[in-house]
Chain A
Amino acid sequence: MNQFSELTWQGLWKNNPGLVQLLGLCPLLAVTTTLTNALGMSVATILVMVGSNITVSLVRQWIPREIRIPIFVMIIAGFVTCVQLLFNAYAYGLYQSLGIFLPLIVTNCIIIGRVEAFASKNAVIPSAYDGFIMGVGFSLVLLLLGAVREILGQGTLFDGADLLLGDWASILRIEFIEFEQSFLFIMLPPGAFVALGLILALKNSLNAKVEAAVVPVQIIEKPERARINKVS
């Protein structure tokens, strides 16, 4: 089994940060009011994950075990600050609409989770790929949640896309239903919890089918981990 397809499988489905590890719920629930916000958050998170995974993997042999956590946090915080400055300079509208959640990426546990669990033990290229694919897995959940909440909440898709992508993007805006009053519940955090719950339920109900379709190929390659205390 190729390491990269294993990582892909883990990041996108088996161990999806948004749906299985349930890490980073704060941005997941807070910024997914529209698809555009979700997209901006996705880009920022992927950038930070890839950047910090690469950096940690590069310097991993110089990091003493006892002080690894403060160093990881420092590297992540540095990357987040850089991303924040870049957004401020080149995507000002989005910078404003993401608000406090952009600097709060520092506290997103997925990032330090992947740095600690993967990048600090693996070579640069797999680490970069791990950061990327875990970021994509998280982003897919963000985007799905953003789309569902935007359609149900205000009946549109890509509202405010011009803030992220420039003026031309206002043509992306699709209006499905014209609401007299937007569906407040979905726009507020409780709606996000309910929508996330439904997506989790959907994931779990599809799980058996998807695993059946993907896993048989893997089982041959990846023998079950031997347990020392197993009597057989």
Chain B
Amino acid sequence: MKKIITKNGLILAAFALAVTAIVALTHQATKNEISEQERKQLLRILDQVIDESSYDNALYKHCVPVLSRQFLGRDKQQRTFIALKDNQPVAIAIETTAPNGYSGNINMLVGISKIGVVLGVRILSHQETPGLGDKIDLAKSSWVESFNNKSSNGAKDPTWQVKKDGGEFDQFTGATITPRAVVQAVNKSLSFFKNNKDLLFTSAERCGEQ
């Protein structure tokens, strides 16, 4: 009895070892390609929120980690990317989260110029209802472009609401919660930038190697 158990245990261990080895090899073989893909994806989105011609540094490398549950909606560290031209900051892209979407977090990237004007907003990931709330995604509708060139007078600014609440952003038929959450989150990221502008631009801290 004991012998069989030992034998089976050893066989199981041998298989576990072999399978782990195969996974480790595949991981080694694809590691570079994966980080390259992630970098490309990040660049593609950064390009959409900050115009490529407006800066001359390696944007994705100038990454400052930030954490603000109140303004950026997450307990986890998020990233900001600072665009420089001739070593002067010109714009920033802030990763932010709307924690109050219709079904969970809406993660987005907000591009803001140094004077506090929105350059662009892109949704990175969300689980909103397909056909209703998912119009925040640029692939489905151009709604997120309505943020372009807007600036805010702080969290209480009455124009930074959906039209239903008296603001100037459209809601969607059948979905108010989603755009409301996005509008709030973008406004909060603007406030966050305004409050921490100098700190962000001068910070020497960099995000950990991803």
Contacts and interface: CB of A to CB of B under 8 A. Distances in A.
Interface of A: 33, 59, 62-64, 66-67, 70-71, 74-75, 77-78, 81-82, 85-86, 88-90, 92, 153-154, 160, 181-184, 187-188
B129 A85 contact: no
A158 B37 CA distance: 23
Contacts, number: 66
Contacts of B138: none
Interface stretch (B10-18, B112-120, B145-153, B176-184): B10-18
Top 7 closest A-B pairs, CB basis? Answer: A89-B33, A78-B19, A89-B30, A184-B131, A92-B37, A182-B131, A82-B26
B41 interface: yes
Contacts of A153: 131
Contacts of B12: 67, 70-71
B173 interface: yes
Contacts of B33: 89-90
Contact of A88 (B34, B131, B139): B34
Nearest to B22: A78
Interface string B102-132: 0000000000000000000000000001111
Contacts of A77: 19
Interface size class of B (residues with CB under 8 A): 20 to 34
18 contacts: A63-B11, A64-B7, A64-B8, A66-B4, A67-B8, A67-B11, A74-B15, A74-B16, A75-B19, A85-B23, A85-B26, A85-B30, A88-B30, A88-B37, A90-B33, A184-B130, A184-B132, A188-B130
B27 interface: yes
B7, B16, B37, B41 pick with most chain A CB within 10 angstroms = B37
A33 B130 contact: yes
B22 A82 contact: yes
Contacts of B19: 74-75, 77-78
Contacts of A66: 4, 8
Contacts of A181: 131, 173
B130 A187 contact: yes
B30 A86 contact: yes
Contacts of A183: 131
A48 to B, nearest CB: 13
B141 to A, nearest CB: 11
Interface string B155-198: 00000000000000000010000000000000000000000000
